[in-house]
């Protein structure tokens, strides 16, 4: 009998419901909360999720052409993420699992980005560069877990980019036709200005760069040149720590995952680095690089097959659930 898992994603701005049947994706329903202005308001996003949640689940089941009774289990992203948002997804998944009397499978959102990336790109044992609104980290599998080899000391790359373009009046929307406003603005830049480049060991830091870049804009430096300099510095720092981690871990593949993976300028830098190192570069296509329910369903299926389930009454959300806290017994299967 084929294993069919439904996965619920609600860690930040996306309420996603995905269904997988073994390696086949049979449903992928997504609803994205878009703030009218400013950044994401967790409570507003949560309210939006509560409104669309039940219909998103029925829509996914309908598009898969199955009934809820056909599911083997229900997976849910319990963290890391925004508390109010996480709780809505957890409530839906717990209720479904309890009502249907099906196993509930806990999934770590960061692990799910990695697993869906491996599924769609076919890499096996990569150095992982995870770049999103809330996360910036370099990881690789070692002794049963994805170990973190470097991360941001303050804000995540995506959060940094969003904050910067918002503060200088270019956003929201942050991404237009698949291109981030930072990249768009940087295309018109001609001159690099002096801004702090901070790499400490294997870690990066963006808060000093943010402050200095905003100050430069206020001083009257053309915003195109500030954007261009910010882009070059931020992306170079990421590629530098990735290259060092590659040497350290001796991995032969690099996998870039997360919502920021879509940038073609970042991709160019990774291409130069990986070809000079002779390693294979895989970048998760935008559709699966952003948050979605499929990644939760797929990781849930892998976890379920390794015997990982959780009682609904014990399925608490974990806002700061770290990637390297999760055992990965299915690795290499």
Which residues make up the interface to Fe ion (CB under 5 A)? 132, 291
Closer by beta carbon to Fe ion, 132 or else 152 = 132
Degrees to nearest 5, angle at CA 131 with 17 and 176 = 75
Give the residue among 226, 237, 126 at the shortest CA–CA distance from 185: 226
- As a whole number of angstroms, the distance between CA 264 and CA 182 comes to 12
Closer by beta carbon to Fe ion, 73 or else 293 = 293
CB of 35 to Fe ion, least distance (A): 17
CB of 48 to Fe ion, least distance (A): 17
Closer by beta carbon to Fe ion, 203 or else 291 = 291
- As a whole number of angstroms, the distance between CA 145 and CA 117 comes to 16
- As a whole number of angstroms, the distance between CA 116 and CA 113 comes to 6
In contact, 73 and 5? CB cutoff 8 Å: yes
CB of 136 to Fe ion, least distance (A): 12
| 3-state class (DSSP) for residue 153 | coil
CB of 68 to Fe ion, least distance (A): 26
CB of 135 to Fe ion, least distance (A): 7
- As a whole number of angstroms, the distance between CA 207 and CA 144 comes to 33
Closer by beta carbon to Fe ion, 117 or else 312 = 117
How crowded is residue 167: how many other Cβ atoms within 10 Å of its Cβ? 14
In contact, 20 and 292? CB cutoff 8 Å: no
- Tokens at 38, concatenated: 């400013």
Closer by beta carbon to Fe ion, 134 or else 189 = 134
CB of 215 to Fe ion, least distance (A): 30
Closer by beta carbon to Fe ion, 102 or else 118 = 118
Closer by beta carbon to Fe ion, 174 or else 228 = 174
CB of 99 to Fe ion, least distance (A): 28
- The kind and range of the H/E element at 7 are strand 4-9
Closer by beta carbon to Fe ion, 110 or else 281 = 110
- The kind and range of the H/E element at 283 are strand 280-283
- As a whole number of angstroms, the distance between CA 326 and CA 164 comes to 33
For the chain, the first-to-last Cα distance in angstroms comes to 19
- Tokens at 135, concatenated: 């996360």
- As a whole number of angstroms, the distance between CA 39 and CA 299 comes to 29
CB of 159 to Fe ion, least distance (A): 12
CB of 292 to Fe ion, least distance (A): 9
Closer by beta carbon to Fe ion, 109 or else 269 = 109
- As a whole number of angstroms, the distance between CA 258 and CA 114 comes to 9
């Amino acid at each position: 009998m084929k294993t069919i898992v439904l996965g619920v994603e609600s860690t930040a701005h996306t309420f996603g419901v995905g269904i997988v049947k073994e390696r086949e994706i049979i449903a992928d329903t997504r609803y994205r909360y878009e703030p009218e202005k400013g950044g994401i308001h967790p409570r507003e996003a949560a309210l939006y999720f509560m409104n669309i949640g039940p219909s998103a689940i029925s829509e996914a089941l309908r598009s898969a052409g199955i009934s809820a009774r056909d599911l083997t289990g229900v997976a849910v992203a319990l963290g890391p993420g925004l508390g109010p948002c996480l709780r809505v997804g957890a409530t839906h998944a717990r209720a479904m699992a309890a009502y249907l009397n099906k196993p509930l499978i806990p999934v770590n959102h960061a692990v799910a980005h990695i697993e869906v990336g491996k599924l769609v790109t076919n890499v096996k044992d990569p150095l992982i560069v995870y770049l999103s609104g809330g996360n910036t980290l370099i990881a690789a599998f070692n002794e049963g877990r994805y170990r973190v080899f470097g991360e941001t000391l303050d804000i995540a790359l995506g959060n940094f980019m969003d904050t910067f373009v918002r503060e200088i009046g270019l956003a929201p929307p942050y991404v237009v036709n698949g291109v981030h406003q930072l990249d768009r603005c940087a295309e018109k830049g001609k001159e690099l200005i002096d801004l702090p480049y901070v790499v400490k060991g294997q870690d990066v830091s963006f808060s000093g760069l943010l402050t200095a870049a905003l100050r430069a804009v206020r001083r009257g430096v053309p915003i195109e040149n500030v954007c261009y300099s910010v882009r070059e510095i931020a992306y170079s720092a990421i590629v530098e720590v990735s290259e060092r981690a590659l040497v350290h871990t001796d991995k032969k593949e690099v996998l870039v995952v997360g919502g920021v993976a879509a940038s073609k300028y970042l991709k160019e830098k990774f291409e130069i680095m990986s070809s000079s190192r002779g390693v294979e570069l895989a970048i998760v296509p935008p559709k699966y690089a952003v948050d979605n329910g499929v990644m939760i369903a797929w990781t849930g299926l892998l976890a379920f097959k390794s015997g990982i389930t959780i009682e609904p009454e014990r399925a608490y959300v974990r806002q700061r659930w770290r990637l390297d806290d999760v055992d990965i017994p299915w690795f290499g299967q």
